[in-house]
Amino acid sequence: MSKTYDDVLMDWMFYREDKLQLFTDIKNHMKAVYLSDNKPMILAVSFGKDSSMVLTLFLEMLNSLTPAERQKKVYVISADTLVETESMASYVRKNLEAVGRIGKELGIEILLSAPNPKEKFFYNVIGKGLPAPNGKSRFRWCSGKLKLSPMNRTIEYILKQCPVDFDVVDFDATLLIGTRLDESVARANSIRKFEVSDYFSKHHTYEKLRVYTPIKTITTFDLWIYLENFVQVFPWGELVSELRAMYEDGKECPIVRSVNDKACGSNSSRNGCWVCLMSGRRDGMLETLIEKGHKDAPYLAEWKAFLFDVANDVRYREPLRRKEYRSHLSGVDQGEYTPITIFEELDPSSHYYHTFQRAKKGNENGEFRPGGFTITLRKILLEKLLYTQEKVGYTLIEEEEITSILEAWNEDGFEFSRKELQPVNHQYDGSIVFHPDWTLNTKETTNPNPIFYVEYKFKFGFDDMIAYIKERQQFMKDQIFCYFDHDDLVDDGIVWNKAVFVVAREDIQTQKEADEYVARWLYIDGAEALGADGKPFNKMVGKSKDAAIHHLLIDTLYEGLKLKKEMAS
């Protein structure tokens, strides 16, 4: 049976010296490690409870050394994901600056890592349309891009500074981290998996980097009792009570060493990233800030909830994944479509019938597995983010990142100018969610509007049909979700592809309105002409006109074949 906080408190009352000796032993061990070689030491800190404890004990150890003993290079490194709450980010910056001030005489260099432009959260979600990881995600990219890669670049920089020598020691530097066995089963297993001795383990990435976990046996209760009663003020001058308040606000996210570390969003660790969806729609950190009167928190919480709500809405997901688009478009000459004439001989043995490139519904198993966010949603998310930024009164996204996002959109064929993007408080009308078998997930679907399915037939092969749909998306700067399939009339020797569009909007209440909405999106080129009455109207030209004509011809043929069969029966 595990001990409660009161049990541990009683142990401290009756065995105080023994308890304090635990921390003295750690400092003595740190001293022995420090003096055992001339290799640099790296302290990875998030200024949460664990890394603050390691840094406290290490600085106390350093101050106990004589100037002659204190000759080793020490780096204190931290990661800024650029999406922490302002209170969390300012807390880390304040502590780093304080450590930097006292660290100059101790041989300490401060290094703060951050994502590069293509690793940033908003670039990936809004720029590239990459869905943000949530508790059910198979691909959790954010820790790797926002923390692990930036920290690895910092470590690589440090390792390059290490002098080349021929010592028998098989490492170039020692990395100190605050990982503890008491944190979680997963953390404990991770520590033991790479251990080479009681306190040292191999680094996941760098062979010449030794990982040192000096506080791994300290329990959470013992850690807090020591910090609050025997430290109270960190060696760099900040108050332990302020750190404790950060935990009450739920705003701490530890250092990540590998993509296997589930550092954020779980119950075992606090989360500082206000955009994180790992813990679900509700955010305990932001809710606590709201309760405490932080004026910015409601706007941050609203944007995050919006992102969570839209994540699985089929209307805002690409019908194919990026690599599937590339595969289909690689064999198509852009701007050249060659639909086969509808008046081919209706013969099941014809060359046309057997070689026609049939569209496939879903993934290789026929399942609904959508791609990334559509350009429609990406634009909505950015506009709502700009609105949120306007309301909180500080920078959430730099103009440089907005420029990178526009470049990413342009790479996908969507040209927007910065002037087209203005703060807009978009509201969400509720989700449309499918099961993998393409049936409507009524449990998770919350949209109150009627859902319409609009089918359009194409004599384009699958690649050409994808190219045509992609061209329409780029021209309209907007997307309507559709899935692809084909109809195969074996007896008549005819086949065609089709796109089935899913429409659910407040302003569309009938099938006819849905049909017209899709038709305008699918066929109107936007070129204006004057009608007989002298009024301008949009007309169909070029490929859109050809596609519309072939759709009508196929529909006519299909109805004729159906009537013929009905009469024969």
Q: What is the 3-state secondary structure (H, E, C) of 485-496?
A: EEEEECCCCEEE
The pLDDT value recorded for residue 489 is: 82
Q: Which residues, in sequence order, are CB contacts of 528 under 8 Å at separation 6+?
A: 536, 537, 538, 539
The pLDDT value recorded for residue 198 is: 79
φ, ψ of residue 352 to 5 degrees: the values are -60, -45
The pLDDT value recorded for residue 274 is: 94
What element of type H or E holds 324?
Answer: helix 322-329
**Both tokens assigned to 12:** 């401290």
The pLDDT value recorded for residue 464 is: 86
Cα–Cα distance, 299 to 136 (Å, whole number): 25
- Tokens 């994180």 identify what position? 276
The pLDDT value recorded for residue 196 is: 47
Q: Answer yes or no: are the C-beta atoms of 373 and 131 closer than 8 Å.
A: yes
Dump pLDDT digits (tens) for 139-165.
788 889 999 999 999 999 999 988 766
Could you say which residues of the chain have pLDDT below 70? 1, 137-138, 164-169, 183-197, 248-271, 331-351, 525-569
CATH superfamily for 5-269 is HUPs (3.40.50.620)
The pLDDT value recorded for residue 522 is: 84
The pLDDT value recorded for residue 18 is: 94
Number of neighbours of residue 459 by Cβ within 10 angstroms: 25
Number of neighbours of residue 27 by Cβ within 10 angstroms: 18
- Tokens 């432009």 identify what position? 117
Query: What residue spans in the chain does CATH classification 3.40.50.620 cover?
Result: 5-269
What three-state secondary structure class fits 311?
coil
The pLDDT value recorded for residue 341 is: 45
The pLDDT value recorded for residue 543 is: 58
Q: Exposure of 244 by Cβ count < 10 A (0-12 exposed, 13-18 middle, 19+ buried)?
A: middle
Phi-psi region of 380 (alpha: psi -120 to 50; beta: other; left: phi over 0): alpha
Dump pLDDT digits (tens) for 100-111.
999 988 999 999
- Tokens 């329409």 identify what position? 472
The pLDDT value recorded for residue 553 is: 55
Which 8-state DSSP code applies to residue 434?
A: B
What element of type H or E holds 501?
Answer: strand 494-503
Cα–Cα distance, 404 to 400 (Å, whole number): 6
Cα–Cα distance, 135 to 355 (Å, whole number): 44
